[in-house]
Structure 1
């Protein structure tokens, strides 16, 4: 016996009646309301029921048969086809209860951007709108003009003497790390512990075994058997210390002896307040270090733009892969960043943010220093306070109750047993930071 179809056709709809009918039958098969093997009304009977010409139902049935949703059986009628592999769709879940006020996250990755420079930001995007995009797929290495600007900037700010042909544009640090992973020989990779969680996750997603490298004991690292070691030497994430010069030399010597590639994530090196920024590790050995830079800490994480400088054989493998996959950083983003660099916007926001962060760092150190171990001068846009586990949990919970999300040091650990708070002060206002510090100091007092 034929099934009754629950179909409503709307003559005010701009879509043809046959298309409406096919859409509704297709949806009912997909969500299980019309099970496999169900017999449908004949095209004549359905047309009479819906008050439409038979040609409407015939065209709808023919379309669904062609798509494999229905099948016609000679002399028997039209049936829901088997072998679709579809399961009934789950019933729609009830709407969640309204969420409370959003927490102010004092994280490590959101920069403060001086609002005085918003006009320059808008001008950059007007420049993009006026420029002509590439006719086809653009150069996977990145815009040539932007690579020229970045090479000059790396020499000036990071002591990294590179040719524009040595620079590759990426869609952020994670994307650059992914490209390096594809270019490495087989083998596990080492990642600092505690360290950048995204680096460990990216390596695991690439099928690599992750070896924990104790962040506080670089001199004791054994790189034997590793394809690479991912490090943050200018400002260890999240403990905050700078890798000493002798340790850098020892790390490069170990890499040379074992053949491991050192991957330097230089995520916020420009924000140092007590002395000038420490030169990049890659400036000591271009053949053993792949350098990852990013615009996320200076301009905006949402730009999703970064750059890679690596040994020639690594870049060659990266280029071949990107050429085949048409993988490239988004052209409009590259073009906007080029305008921001040429106009001096990036230098201005970095100088302004450095002054703001220096003042905030003093406030954080004064408020939290008496309650735990800050581990040295505060740099970048966060401070890490080492605490007993119970104290860290109490302060974290008190902050959440007051509307602030303060990350815990333990969340950045894999094997390390370390506790404390990682207090970011970039992506908040001065008033929000002051309020959060009051809550934390009250909880720790």
Structure 2
């Protein structure tokens, strides 16, 4: 009976507002028990096909046409994704290098050792095994000073910043300063929490944090101190000390986004800013650049006063970072597999960066590679006005490269032009062709 009524509404035989027989009358017509009809009506009312109020008749819902339309009308077609011959967009690791065999072995070991309770509802703070492994790993490799209980596992930097933003907004913070070039998605995340994002100028020494003294409304600052994104510079030691001093004097919070801190090629990586003052700095890390963004794994090392506030932003049930991947990551770290993978990729990415820098120097006198030897991208400085036409030409040639303008804060006065080139994404077999395609299109490449 329920199927028959649905079909009649879908076909238009029963229009919205049509009054249906009472359950007693319809049961008599059909020769079935009245409870059978009553149950069918109740099910159709719950689904939204019918409507009824106590003491009145049952009618076809006015919303039935919306239900029919939502079921019958296919969703609008999305435009096909732009096909790239060579993908040199920043922020993407070489996915072909993902250590599948080692990860698979770690999955098996992690599941074999997993406690029964791990299969239940997840802890919003994250698995204790991963939090312990991270506290030791981060201390050893990034100089982070934190206890496992101060770490919250998240699904990546995007979720992590959203959790931080919610917690800071809850503390009454209304503004967090950001670097004048950065990720618009991060500014949007802060904005969704009701937090304004005034920009700080960035030069060869990193963000000009001295300007914070003239921003009394600012209660926090978001920095990429180890390797500024996208300009590639490192925050100068004097400015590192200055921003920590500002946080101590004002009670402000520093968010240190260490998105690719493992990859420094000319020397040992600069220690994370959090190690200087764990009670005023939030450390934000992820495997999106070191392993793969598809794992959806990140972490926050938090000041004591913010741990519970950040975890509460997730709600009671964690649904973004599965326990299998968390336990596997813990095993991957403890076994030494993560260190070995980082060493392999550091050597490969260093080689690619050297080749890119040399090719630009050899082929394009109008382009200059800026920033320190680190990370998975370089910023190619261009002459004023040279960015927009070149970006269009690269897109037409199906070469995935981002213009610096896409990372410019809307309130900044800086007018720098450049390309942000990710050299990590192509598989090793595709790297040489991608580099050649890029170099051929740079200004002055033919002379």
TM-score, normalization by structure 1: 0.83
TM superposition shift of 1:327: 3.6
Number of the residue aligned with 1:303: 295
Contact 2:180 2:200 survives alignment (8 Å): yes
Number of the residue aligned with 2:282: 290
Contact 1:188 1:210 survives alignment (8 Å): yes
1:205 to 192, 209, 229: 192
2:18 to 16, 21, 38: 38
Number of the residue aligned with 1:110: 92
- Secondary structure, aligned partner of 1:307: strand
TM superposition shift of 1:126: 2.6
Matches within 5 A, 1:55-134: 60-61=40-41, 63-65=43-45, 67=47, 69-70=49-50, 79-82=59-62, 86=66, 89=69, 91-92=73-74, 101-102=83-84, 104-112=86-94, 115=97, 117-130=99-112, 131=114, 132-134=116-118
TM superposition shift of 1:54: 6.5
2:397 to 383, 398, 402: 402
Deviations 1:151-180 (Å, cap 9, x if unpaired)?
111111011232222222122122222222
Matches within 5 A, 1:45-56: none
2:440 and 2:368 mapped to 1: Cα distance?
Answer: 17
TM superposition shift of 1:344: 1.8
Cα distance 1:57–1:302, how it changes in 2: closer, same or farther (>3 A)? Answer: same
Bigger CA drift: 394-403 or 259-268? 394-403
Matches within 5 A, 1:157-172: 157-172=141-156
Number of the residue aligned with 2:440: 442
Number of the residue aligned with 1:379: 374
TM-score, normalization by structure 2: 0.82
1:144 to 128, 133, 150: 128
Bigger CA drift: 223-232 or 129-138? 129-138
Asked if 1:153 is matched to 2:137, the reply is: yes
Cα distance 1:93–1:106, how it changes in 2: closer, same or farther (>3 A)? Answer: same
2:84 and 2:232 mapped to 1: Cα distance?
Answer: 28
Contact 1:22 1:60 survives alignment (8 Å): no
TM superposition shift of 1:77: 8.3
2:421 to 410, 417, 423: 423
TM superposition shift of 1:298: 1.1
TM superposition shift of 1:129: 4.3
Aligned length: 422
2:85 and 2:25 mapped to 1: Cα distance?
Answer: 59
2:242 and 2:81 mapped to 1: Cα distance?
Answer: 51
Once superposed, what is the RMSD of the aligned Cα atoms? 3.5
Number of the residue aligned with 1:344: 336
- Secondary structure, aligned partner of 1:297: coil
1:192 to 179, 188, 195: 179
Cα distance 1:312–1:401, how it changes in 2: closer, same or farther (>3 A)? Answer: same
Number of the residue aligned with 2:3: 20
TM superposition shift of 1:358: 0.6
2:144 and 2:137 mapped to 1: Cα distance?
Answer: 9
TM superposition shift of 1:221: 2.0
1:119 and 1:425 mapped to 2: Cα distance?
Answer: 25
- Secondary structure, aligned partner of 1:204: helix
1:218 to 208, 225, 235: 208
Where structure 1 has 5 or more consecutive residues not aligned to the other structure, the ranges are 1-17
Contact 1:176 1:307 survives alignment (8 Å): yes
